[in-house]
Amino acid sequence: MASIKRSLESDPLQSNISSKVYVRSTKSGKVQKIVCEVYLRQDIPCSSKLCHRCREIAPTDSAGQPIPFVLSGAPAGTSVYPNGHYLVPDTNAFLSAMDLFEQSSGFYDVVVLQIVLEELRNRSLPLYNRLVGLTKSEDKRFYVFFNEFRLETYINRLDGESVNDRNDRAVRKAVAWYGEHLARTKAKQIPTVVMLSNDRENLRKAKNEGIAACSLANYVRQLEDGEHLLDMIPETEDGEMIKEKRPNELFYPEYFSMSKMMTGVKGGVLHQGTFNVSPYNYLEGSIRVPAFPKSLLILGRENINRAVDGDLVVVEVLPKDQWKEPSTQVIEEEAITKNENPDTEEGSSLVTERERKALQEEVKRTHSKTTEGHAQPTVRVVGVVKRNWRQYVGHIDQTSVSQSAQQGRKQDTVFVIPMDKKIPKIRLRTRQVAELVGKRILVTIDAWDRDSRHPTGHFVRSLGELETKAAETEALLLEYDVQYRPFPKTVLDCLPKEGHDWKVPTSTDDPGWRDREDLRHLGICSIDPIGCQDIDDALHSRPLPNGNFEVGVHIADVSHFVRPNNAMDMEASIRGTTVYLVDKRIDMLPMLLGTDLCSLKPYVERYAFSVLWELTPDADIVNMRFTKSVIKSREAFSYEQAQLRVEDASQQDDLTKSIRVLMALSRKLKQKRMDAGALSLSSPEVKVQMESETSDPIDVKTKQHLDTMSLVEEFMLLANVSVARKIYEAFPQTALLRRHGAPPKTNFDELANQLRVKKGLELSVESSRALADSLDTCVDPKEPFFNTLIRIMATRCMMAAEYFCSGTQAYPEFRHYGLASEIYTHFTSPIRRYADLVAHRQLAAAIEYEAVHPSVRSRGRLEAVCKNINVRHRNAQLAGRASIAYYVGQALRGKATEEDGFIMKIFSNGFVVLVPRFGIESLIRLRDLAEPEPSAEYDAETYTLKTSGSREIKVELFQKVRVLVTDQKDETTGKRGVKMEFVKAY
C-alpha cells in the first residue's frame, strides 16, 4: 500500500514547502487546530542597493517594472560599525521605542522583518500603523523583508519552544542570513547587519551565535545626539536589577488571570467596565457596569490597583461592611504625595500614612452617620482587560528633582505630573532633567509593576517652555487627541485641480449642473459670527402669492467635492470635526475647500444643497423639498450687523425684509419647540478678546445672545429635523442620526435634593417638558443669575448627545431629549462636521440625485464612523473649553479683580465657586482661607460649611459670594489658571 501522506521525500520541490501547525482559540470559545502550508521562495530580494544578484531575480510589479531597492548602498557607519550598518529591530524594540525610529537624526536603513511586523500588529495597532507609515516614507529607507517566505530564513518551531522564542530565533536567523548574503556581494565595504533588541536573552543568544546585536541603549549611544535620544528608551534593562534588590516588596495585589476574569464576568460574579477617576479626588474612581443602574465606587490606591483613567477593567464587589459614601472631600495627589522621592520607593507599605489619614476621615464620617442608605457599594479592581494608555502631556515635578541632577548627564528619576489630573504621577528616568524642567513634555506610560507605587514611563519629546502659546496649544491638541498635522499629499491630491480659480461652470450643460436647480435669482444671505470664513449655511425667504412664505436653507455642497472613500474622505472621517480654539482652527477639510470652494461666500456662485419649505405665517410646514442647487449669496452678515439691520426701521430693502420675515417665523418655531418641551440649557460661555496685532488676550467677555443667533439656530434645527425624517424614510437601517438620551432620574437626585433643601424648590424630571417647566420656576427674585446657575448645573446631569446609525436603535430611542424632537440629525455644517457630510450623501441618494455609495449603506462602516465622530466631537468641545480656560488665565495675568460668584459644589474641606463674568469655576480649599487651616464643620444634610478658629465663615450651597480673582500657576498641572480667594459672603 502506498502511503497517502504527502511524501516530502519524493517531491522535488519538497524544500520549498513547509507547514505550520498551531492551536487557535477563537473569541467564541472554539479551539481549532490550524495547519498552514508555507510555500517558500528564493526570489524575495534583500533590497540592498549593493546586491546585484537579487536585482536580477527580483520579481517585477504588475507593469513589469522592477521594484526599486530601498536600502542604501552606503549606509551610515557608527563607531562600532565603521563599515556602515543595516538595522534589524525585533518586535520589542518597536513596541518600546517607536518614537526613536521616527527620529530624523538616526535610524536609517532599517530592515523590518515580516514576522516583526505581524507581531507588532497583534500587539498594538497604532504602533503598527506608525511603522507602516515609516516603511512608506522614502527618506527613512525602511524595508519590509518577508523572512517567513524566503526559504533560507524560514524556521520551524522547535519542540517545546514558545512562539516568542521561535520568533526571536527567526529574527536572528534573518540577521545571520542578511550578513552572509551581503558578504557575497563582494562590495568594497560590506555593511554590518545589526540586530536591535532590548531582550537580554535574545541579545545573549545572538552573541553566542556570533551575530552583531545591540541593545537600544548601546546603539543610541553610538549616534551623534545619542544622549538626548537615550531618554526615549524605556527602562526595561534596569528593571530586573531593581527587582532583585527588593524581591518581596510588592505594593499591589496581583491581577487575576484573563480566563478567570472572563469566567467571572460571564458568570456575573465580576464586572467589566471603564474606569473613571473622580476629578476632585484621585483616590476615588467610579465604574459603570451593565449589571447595576448606578455606578460603583472604587476607593483607595489598593482597590484601584494600578488602573489608570480610561482603562477597561474587571472589578469585584467588596463585602458590605466596606461600602462607603462617595467622598465629600477634595483629595489631590499633589498635596498628599508631595514629599515622595522618585528614586527610592521608601514607604514600605502601599498606602502612605497621609493617604491613610485622608481616607480614615472619610470612614469616620460614614460611620458617624446612622443613615444606612447612603453607603454605596464599593469594588476593587482585580484585573485590566485593556489598557487605554496614550501619550500624556505633563511637566516635571520640580520638587522631585534632586540637586545633583540639575547639572551633569547622570540619569535621574523624576516625577512627571500629567496635565490631566486624573492621570497619576509618572516616574520617568531621564538624563536631561536640567533641560526639561519647566517645559511641557510628552511622555508615555510603559508599565506599572506591582512593586512600584507609580507607573513608569519614558520621555517622548518636548513641546517647549511652559506657558508659551505654541507649547500650550500643542499640549492641548495632543491631550484631546486632535489631529493637527498638515494634510498629507494624498489628501491634497483630491482637491480640484483649478484650486482657488475653480468656479461654478457657466454653461448649464456642464455635468456639474446635472439635476441642480438654479437658485441664483434668490435673495440669499448668510449670518455668522464675526470673521467666519467657513460659511456652511445661508438663508432666504420670500412671500408667496397665497400668503404663505417660501423659506430656504442652503448648505454648502461639500459632498460634491469630497467623494466617498478617497483619501480626503478618509482623513475627514478620522478628524471627524473642525476644532475651534481661541486663536486657532484645526480644519477637518483642507483650507481650499473649507474657506473657499465650499464656503457660501457672498457675491459668488456656489454649489449648495437646499432645503425649501412653504411655511404658513404661523410657521406650519405646508410642504418641503430638497434639491441640489446653485446659489449666489447677496451678503454675508455677522450676527451683530444683521441685528442692527433688522432693528433699523429705515432699512427697507428686500434682504432686510426677508430677514425680518425669517425672524418672525423663527420666533414661532421656537415657541413651538418650547411648547413641545425643548430645554433651554446653559453653559457659561465667554469670549476672549485678543489684541489684533499680537493676538494676546486682553479681556474676557461673556457672550451676548442676539435674536439673529436664534434665528439661524431655529432654521438649522428645522432643516436638520426635516432631513432626518427624509433619510430615515429612505434608509431605515443605515440613516446617520443624532440622539440625546433621556437622563436617568438618579442623575438629578442630588440637584433636586439640593434645591429642595436650600431653596424649597421642586425639580420634576419625568419628562423634558416637566423639567423645562420646573427649571423655569427655579428663580430667585433677588438673584437673576440663579436660574442660569441651576440650568448650568442641570446641564451637567444630562447625558451626552450622540450620533448613531438608525438600525442600531429602536425608533422611540431616536428621541432628542434636549430638543424634544422625535428624530434629529446633523446636516447644516458639512464643512466642519463629518456627520453632516454623511447626511448629505444619504440625502442625495434619497432624492435620487446620485447612486447610493456602499459606504453610506454599510451599517458596520457607519457604526465605526459614529463611534469615532462621537469621540472626536467630545474631544473638540473639551479642547475648545480648555483653550478658553487657558486664555482666560492669560488674560487675567497679573490682574486681580473682585468678582461675584456662586457656590455650586461644597465639600467638607472646600467649595467650588463659579464666576459668571469669566465663565470659570475654581475650588477654594479651607487651607486657602487662612493659615493655619481653620477647623470646619460640614453639614451634608443642609450643604452648609461652617469654619471656626483662624477664620470664621459660613457658606452654603448656591450662595452668592465675593471672591478675589487672580491668576496663578497651578503647580499640579503646570497650567496657568485662575485662583480665587474668598472675600466675603453676601
Q: Give the footprint of other proteins on this chain (CB under 8 A).
A: 1, 3-5, 19, 21-25, 29-31, 33, 35, 157, 159-163, 257-260, 262-263, 266-269
SS3 424: coil
Cβ-based burial of 22 (10 A; exposed 0-12, middle 13-18, buried ≥19): exposed
Q: Cβ closer to other proteins: 382 or 926? A: 382
Q: Cβ closer to other proteins: 1 or 13? A: 1
- CA-based nearest residue to 499, from 607, 564, 563, 590: 590
Task: Name the minimum Å distance from CB 317 to other proteins.
Answer: 14
Task: Name the minimum Å distance from CB 38 to other proteins.
Answer: 13
Task: Name the minimum Å distance from CB 370 to other proteins.
Answer: 34
Task: Name the minimum Å distance from CB 161 to other proteins.
Answer: 8
Strand order in the sheet with 954-956: 935-939, 944-948, 954-956
Task: Name the minimum Å distance from CB 265 to other proteins.
Answer: 10
- Phi/psi at 426 (nearest 5 deg)? -115, 130
SS3 39: strand
Those residues whose C-beta lies under 8 Å from the C-beta of residue 665, and which sit 6 or more positions away, are 541, 549, 551, 615, 617, 619, 714
Dihedral sign for Cα atoms in the order 919, 920, 926, 928: negative
Q: Cβ closer to other proteins: 314 or 460? A: 314
Could you give the angle at the alpha carbon of 595 between the alpha carbons of 593 and 599, nearest 5°?
A: 80
Place of cell 438600525: 807
Cell of 64: 513589469
Task: Name the minimum Å distance from CB 263 to other proteins.
Answer: 4
Task: Name the minimum Å distance from CB 37 to other proteins.
Answer: 9
785-795 vs 746-759: helix crossing angle, rounded to 10: 160
Cβ-based burial of 28 (10 A; exposed 0-12, middle 13-18, buried ≥19): exposed
CA 427 from chain centre, in angstroms, equals 23
Cell of 594: 473649507
CA atoms within 13 A on the CB side of 448: 25
Q: What does the alpha-carbon distance between residue 860 and residue 98 come to, in Å, rounded to a whole number? A: 31
CA 482 from chain centre, in angstroms, equals 7
Task: Name the minimum Å distance from CB 385 to other proteins.
Answer: 14
Task: Name the minimum Å distance from CB 780 to other proteins.
Answer: 54
- CA-based nearest residue to 456, from 239, 243, 200, 299: 239
Contact indicator for 438, 410 with CB cutoff of 8 Å: no
What are the respective helix, strand and coil percentages of the chain, to the nearest 5?
35, 25, 40
Q: Cβ closer to other proteins: 163 or 964? A: 163
Task: Name the minimum Å distance from CB 27 to other proteins.
Answer: 11
Task: Name the minimum Å distance from CB 292 to other proteins.
Answer: 18
Contact indicator for 120, 95 with CB cutoff of 8 Å: yes
- Look up residue 814 and give its amino acid: F
Q: Cβ closer to other proteins: 57 or 269? A: 269
Could you give the angle at the alpha carbon of 523 between the alpha carbons of 517 and 525, nearest 5°?
A: 100
Task: Name the minimum Å distance from CB 158 to other proteins.
Answer: 8
Task: Name the minimum Å distance from CB 163 to other proteins.
Answer: 6
Strand ranges (E), 162-260: 192-196, 213-214
